[in-house]
Structure 1
Amino acid sequence: MRTHKYTITGMFCDGCRTKVEKVLSAMEGIEAVVSLDPPVATISMQKPIQTSQFQEVLAAEGKYSIKVFNANDLKLPIKEAVVELPKNAAGKYYCPMFCEGEKVYEEAGDCPVCGMDLVKAPDLESSKTLFTCPMHPEIEQDHPGSCSICGMDLVPLEPKDSEENKAYNELWRKMKIALLFTVPIFIISMSDMIPNNPLLKILDTQTWNWVQLVLSLPVVFYACWMFFTRAWKSILTWNLNMFTLIGIGSSVAFLFSLVGLFFPDVFPDEFKTYHGTVHLYFEATTVILTLVLLGQLLEAKAHSRTSGAIKELLKLAPTEATLVIDGEDKLIAIHAIKKGDLLRVKPGDKVPVDGKITTGESTIDESMISGEPIPVDKKINDAVIAGTINGNKSFVMVAEKVGSETLLSQIVQMVNSASRSRAPIQKVADKIAKYFVPIVVLASVLTFIVWANFGPEPALVYGFINAIAVLIIACPCALGLATPMSVMVGVGKGAHTGVLIKNAEALENMNKVDVLITDKTGTITEGKPSVEKVFSTDNKDNELLKYCASLNQYSEHPLAQAVVQYAKLKETSLIEVNDFEAISGKGVVGTVANNRVSFGNKSLMEQVGASISADLEAKVIAEQKLGKTVSYIAIDTVALGFISISDAIKETSVAAIKELIKQGVEVIMLTGDNENTAKAVAEELNLTSFKAGCLPEDKLNEIKRLQAEGKIVAMAGDGINDAPALAQADVGIAMGTGTDVAIESAKITLVKGDLQGIVKAKNLSHAVMKNINQNLFFAFFYNVLGIPIAAGVLYPFFGILLSPMIAALAMSFSSVSVIANALRLRNVKL
């Protein structure tokens, strides 16, 4: 057989490695061994097989790719995989630990890798609202109206219990059953500590042992049976986790108790009480399992809160709207709105969908989007956003974005993806858990051996108790919560302050950013340029303006719109343009009144071969040194003038850049504007450095250069031309006031659209990463500290031992600590 090595990409956990190995080995005549770190497959084959055939079978199983192994691959930095749910996951089930990546299941159940309960992915669109009569609940319909029986207005029907609440309620029901039977077992067991044990006056010790067995059965075989199932699966797949330790520890205690109850004579005397019965551990088994169940209950509550936050966002959109049709108002359900519909928004109503005002004006509370409490004045042609609240005037709007296209729906999608994505730091926790479990099992075995051979009598009893205590206290139950809880709360905090984070990787990387690349127009500046001067070398200012505005009426660039707006104010009539062409990063050209007109920067003048006089050049430079953006106007091959445009720097830009530099971040401005204008802005803001005249590919190449130097680069931009650079950057930051393409390419979106949001994102990232590290500390601190205590190292000096029940309590307390610590992020100041 021939043996070859291949590099596999797309694997990020042992579940992936196992899947890839099985898929490859299932091919005829193939034997495959796959490692995760490094991600290499060693394949033995009886006959040559093309790499494309391997790729075909792997692609059918997930986003895996394969190529012939190259030793240089191992020298490249491996980008951590980030797991997010696919967009079509709504209503399906996934493992909260992402053992199989983004794989989802149609039905509820257990994860085949780790055994955790699968969680239902939330619907990211509000479900169709049903309306019912408050007096006649049997009347239901999917649109507003009146009751056919009594004539009352129908009201929205309360939604039914969610899947998350069902899961939580099921666990709570099991918790109540576990408590109902565990508490009596605990009382019976602890009664020996009461002088003149009153229970022995009712029944003897052996009979009470039988009572404990009967009471423990519902706890072990119903309420907490899932933990044994998960432990067994973890051993079969060798994905060792906290359930491995729980299952081994409680199984040993329970089986020991069964043998002790049914066959007491097989045990030496040191295992027996002074009543002649074997000391049993039904109470340790049930108390431990009940405490673990409590941890699962808290985790289920955390998941329901994640979905609850999404549902609260969905509730921001109204359930109905007023459609204006043929001059009359008609109440319709929100899902019945179509693009182009005219909708009336009355005082105090929520805006139903995204659109523009066509009639009337009002003030709108947009705090749910921008975080700013002051209402915003809106007039005809101004955009309005779904979920925002109208003031005290009525207006009519046209629906432009409906359903999942609205900004509110996009926010919901981003919050959901980020809340349920995994930060790269989670991989560290997964690796720790993989090696931690077998080390703990070994520590437990060594504890028993040491106590059995060197401990005081009854040595075997001491050894057994301490070995179980080691297994229980070492269980890293909180490990599964450490990262996702912080990410969930942090993403929610960010959304509340106008910082929308797409995934946990962006949240983690933002903390490492040491270089910020920023665009100028619309990012540092207001992005609302206005014409200050039109200059013509032959005093034909009005004619040049007419030509230039006519040409720019076909462009969507902010500078072009400023020219058109200025022409309208001057009551300049526009004329038809032929052969219009927009040249990215340079300007526009076209034929106006049989003249070839060019409007743009100096690079465009050079491209079209237009000559620039020394006098005109001097005047342009003088304007640029004042921080103005100047565009040349050329007719045919001669530059005949220019238009000077100003774009005010945002008030927040100065403070934001000062704070970022103070935090050790280099701030570099890359702009398509000229050298003089860029220099004026850079000096005013005290930027680290700047580059002018940048085309989209220049920004992209500059980011690649910085990354090659080992820098972690964030890019802030707002235009379509920024999209490639935003996608290349380690963290792309889009202004919410920018284009949809830029927002889609970025990993963080700033709703308000100013650099102060980057400071907030940086502070939030730092707070979240600090919180995650604290959580990982809490997840292991009790365990690592408790293992030697549980093993009995303090006994020779202080006579201190840790019972399995106290160990289980300490283990559960680590989960409570993680949850409480993560929730502190809600109060962090950004």
Structure 2
Amino acid sequence: MEARIDTKLEKKTFPVEGMTCASCASSIESMLRATAGVQEANVNFAGKTVQVAYEPTIIKPLQLKETVHEIGFELLVEEQTEQELEQREVASLHQLRIKTVVAGMLAVPVFILGMFFHGSFSWGNWAMLLLTLPIVVWAGRHFYTGAVKQAKHWRANMDTLVALSTGIAFAFSLFNTIYPSFFLNRGLMPHVYYEAVAVIIAFILLGKFLEERAKGRSATAIKKLMGLQPKVVRIIRNEVEQEVPLEQVQPGDLVVLLPGDRVPVDGEVVAGASYIEESMLSGEPLPVQKQKGDQVFAGTINQKGSLQLLARRTGSETILAHIIRMVQEAQGSKAPVQKLVDKIAGIFVPVVLLIAVLTLVAWLVFGGQSYWSEGLVSMISVLVIACPCALGLATPTAIMVGVGRGAENGILVKDAVSLEKAQHVNAVLLDKTGTITVGKPAVTDVSWAGGVGDKPALEQLFFSMEAQSEHPVAQAIYTHYKEQGLKAQQPDSFTSITGHGVEASFNGKNYLTRVAIIKL
């Protein structure tokens, strides 16, 4: 008899640092998928994350981190708060900005010397060497280290293209600077290409900086959803009201909700009554009445009343947290067209390397040794211009921005496959009034039954009563009569009858209003 062990897959999304192109994403995916215990791995290049489905009994997150580190990237498996991740991104972008500025400042004089004063000064080559050296060994260092790490696993990416093109040009120029007689004795000019090395690295750094800044901006939807969670929460512990960070709230805590507060947790009303604006969940902009025993959800907004909630779900267990995860997974999912792009990007770099080598060989075969320099420049040109970044970045960035903008407007997309299939939709059925209406009640017409008596006096009483109520319809009535110049009177007594209307007393007389809302 065979014992059967059921393995449970765990799916997690980890931030990734160090990706520079679509081939990087392809390398990470293939390395993780080839790791024992990993069932699936999908990299979101635009979002700089990887979603991994793995068997926790076989492999742990730290082992995943080591696997990714071997090919030159960093997988952040430790728990990171949104603030910590944002600080890392800001620091990384700041460092990239400094490298870009320094490389640009050094590249300008190298370019001027190489293009306009080439051979005019005996020390010109040495000056260009000194100016280019910091660009190669500091500003563009990560291109070379990344290419080496990729080469150890017989892989190639954009770093490989940049490292080969600029590295070969720099080494060739350095050789001709130190030992110019080698080519002179053979009747050839010892050309140097420092300006090409400096300008190429400077421009690629500028492109990476603009790309990283654009990717950072495209993640604003997630940050806005995160912003629906308050940072500090009022709770009652040991009969003492205190303010604690949101992370410290536990299921079972008694949460105090004041007018205007955002609901911090999913819970149940145990005291008080109010209206909660739940449009971020339901799409209905009209506030929903809440009283003892009703459920409330994190991210919704309390209106005018005060409530006490018994926390049921907190942190990552709330419905809002599930929505955020769903948006993140949708942004990181791949449409069918993206899978085709990934396949192309995966073989793109090796094909480019082959074409570059064939270019050099063709120059030498058909032109002879005298065309060595021209062949070298042509090979470098092939390596530089064949950057697959746009190919790999366009689709995931479009998906990330599209899903994010939809989330900002209350439209949640399940995944990129659904988004791509939406192009075939020719009819849409809407089942929520809030989807196509403003959601702000307003008085359009007023009709009074015959024989009501003194109409102006009744309107004054009606206005004064509704002015005391927080109901959305009452607010619409209040706004309507206020615009007509009426002034509210203070009632002797006032009672809000939940679900029915309001009752008030003026000068010893009791009045009752009943409001019926008919949804069409």
Interval containing the TM-score (normalised by the shorter chain): 0.5 to 0.7
Deviation at 1:458, TM superposition (A): 7.2
Q: Which of 141, 144, 155 is the aligned partner of 1:228?
A: 144
Residue of structure 1 aligned with 2:209, choices 297, 315, 331: 297
Match of 1:475 among 372, 376, 387: 387
Deviations 1:325-366 (CA, angstroms, capped at 9, x unpaired): 687643333334333433321122222212233333333333
Contact 1:386 / 1:407 at 8 angstroms: preserved in 2?
Answer: yes
Task: Give the superposition deviation at 1:237.
Answer: 2.2
- Cα offset, 1:380, TM superposition: 4.0
SS in 1 for 2:412: strand
Q: 1:458 to 1:377 in 2, by over 3 A?
A: farther
Change (3 A) 1:223 1:324: same
Pairing partner for 1:184 from 106, 109, 114: 109
Are the structure 2 counterparts of residues 111 and 306 from structure 1 closer, same or farther at C-alpha, using a change threshold of 3 Å?
Answer: farther
- Structure 1 vs Structure 2 CA RMSD: 4.3
Among 391, 412, 418, the alignment partner of 2:324 is 412
Amino acid in structure 1 at the alignment position of 2:177: L
Higher normalized contact order (CA 8 Å, seq sep 6+, divided by chain length): 2
Can you list the C-alpha shifts for 1:613-666, whole angstroms capped at 9, x where unaligned?
Answer: xxxxxxxxxxxxxxxxxxxxxxxxxxxxxxxxxxxx766999xxxxxxxxxxxx
Matches within 5 A, 1:45-194: 61-64=36-39, 83=42, 96=48, 105=62, 111-112=68-69, 115=72, 117-118=73-74, 120=76, 162-192=87-117
| Counterpart-to-counterpart distance in 2, 1:175 and 1:455 | 38
Which residue identity is paired with 1:169?
Answer: H
| 1:363–1:377 Cα contact (<8 Å) kept | yes
What is the Cα deviation at residue 510 of structure 1?
Answer: 5.6
Which residue of 1 is the match for residue 502 of structure 2? none
| Cα shift at 1:379 | 4.0
Hey, what's the Cα distance between the residues in 2 that align with 1:172 and 1:13? Answer: 26
Look up the match of 1:206.
Answer: 122
Q: TM-score, normalised by structure 2?
A: 0.65
Conserved 8 A contact 2:273-2:292: yes
CA positional deviation for 1:473: 0.7
Q: Displacement, 1:456? A: 12
Separation of aligned partners in 2, 1:314 and 1:231: 37
Distance in 1 between residues matched to 2:135 and 2:64, nearest whole Å: 26
Describe the shift of the 1:110–1:466 C-alpha distance in structure 2 as closer, same or farther (beyond 3 A).
farther
Deviations 1:641-693 (A, max 9, x none): xxxxxxxx766999xxxxxxxxxxxxxxxxxxxxxxxxxxxxxxxxxxxxxxx
Q: State whether residues 362 and 394 of structure 1, in contact with CA within 8 Å, keep that contact through their aligned partners in structure 2.
A: yes
| Cα distance per residue 1:149-176 (max 9 Å; x no partner) | xxxxxxxxxx796222222222223223
* 1:177 positional shift: 2.8
Deviations 1:751-776 (A, max 9, x none): xxxxxxxxxxxxxxxxxxxxxxxxxx
Give percent identity, aligned residues only. Answer: 37
Among 128, 131, 139, the residue aligned to 1:215 = 131
Deviates more, 1:290-299 or 1:454-463: 454-463
CA distance, structure 1, for counterparts of residue 410 and residue 241 of structure 2: 35
In 2, distance between residues paired with 1:359 and 1:99? 42
Do structure 1's residue 243 and structure 2's residue 159 form an aligned pair?
yes
Contact 1:423 1:504 in 2 (8 A): yes
Q: Distance in 1 between matches of 2:218 and 2:280?
A: 18
* Equivalent position amino acid for 1:168 in 2: L
1:440 to 329, 352, 375: 352
Residue 513 (structure 2) aligns with: none
Question: After the TM superposition, which residues 744-755 of structure 1 pair with which residues of structure 2 at under 5 Å, given as runs?
Answer: none
- Distance (whole Å) between structure 1 residues aligned to residue 375 and residue 53 of structure 2: 41
Moved more, 411-420 or 466-475: 411-420
**TM-superposed deviation, 1:210:** 0.2
Q: 1:258, CA displacement in angstroms?
A: 0.9
Question: Could you give the per-residue CA deviations for residues 537-573 of structure 1, whole angstroms, max 9, x where no partner exists?
Answer: xxxxxxxxxxxxxxxxxxxxxxxxxxxxxxxxxxxxx
Distance 1:495 1:192 in 2: 56
Q: 1:466 and 2:378 equivalent?
A: yes
Q: Is the 8 A contact 1:260 1:279 kept in 2?
A: yes
Matched position secondary structure for 1:499: coil
The aligned counterpart of 1:258 is 174
- Give the partner amino acid of 1:186: F
- Return the offset for 1:411: 1.8
Q: 1:212 to 1:493 in 2, by over 3 A?
A: same
Q: Which consecutive residues of structure 1, in runs of 5 or more, have no partner in the other structure?
A: 1-11, 22-57, 65-80, 86-93, 128-158, 194-199, 273-277, 517-523, 526-648, 655-830
Relative to structure 1, the CA distance from residue 263 to residue 109 in structure 2 (aligned partners, 3 Å threshold; closer, same or farther) is: farther
Q: For the residues of structure 2 that align with 1:208 and 1:109, how far apart are their CA atoms?
A: 46
Q: For residue 509 of structure 1, report the CA deviation from its aligned partner.
A: 5.5
Find the partner of 1:499 among 406, 411, 417.
411
Residues 312 and 122 of structure 1, relative CA distance in 2, 3 Å threshold: farther
Please list the CA deviations of residues 246-294 of structure 1 after superposition, one character each: whole Å capped at 9, or x if unmatched.
Answer: 122111211110111112122257753xxxxx33111111211122222
**Residues of 1 paired with 2:245 and 2:33: CA distance?**
48
Query: How much has 1:227 moved relative to structure 2?
Result: 0.7
Alignment of 1:684-703 (within 5 A): none
Shift of 1:477: 2.4
Call closer, same or farther: CA 1:447–1:164 in 2, change over 3 Å: same
Please say if residues 26 and 346 of structure 2, whose CA atoms lie closer than 8 Å, have aligned partners that are also in contact: no
Aligned match of 1:320: 232
Whole-angstrom distance in 1 between the partners of 2:350 and 2:389: 15
Asked whether the equivalents of residues 110 and 118 of structure 1 are also in contact (C-alpha less than 8 Å), the reply is no
Give 1:214 shift.
1.0
Which residue number corresponds to residue 644 of structure 1? none
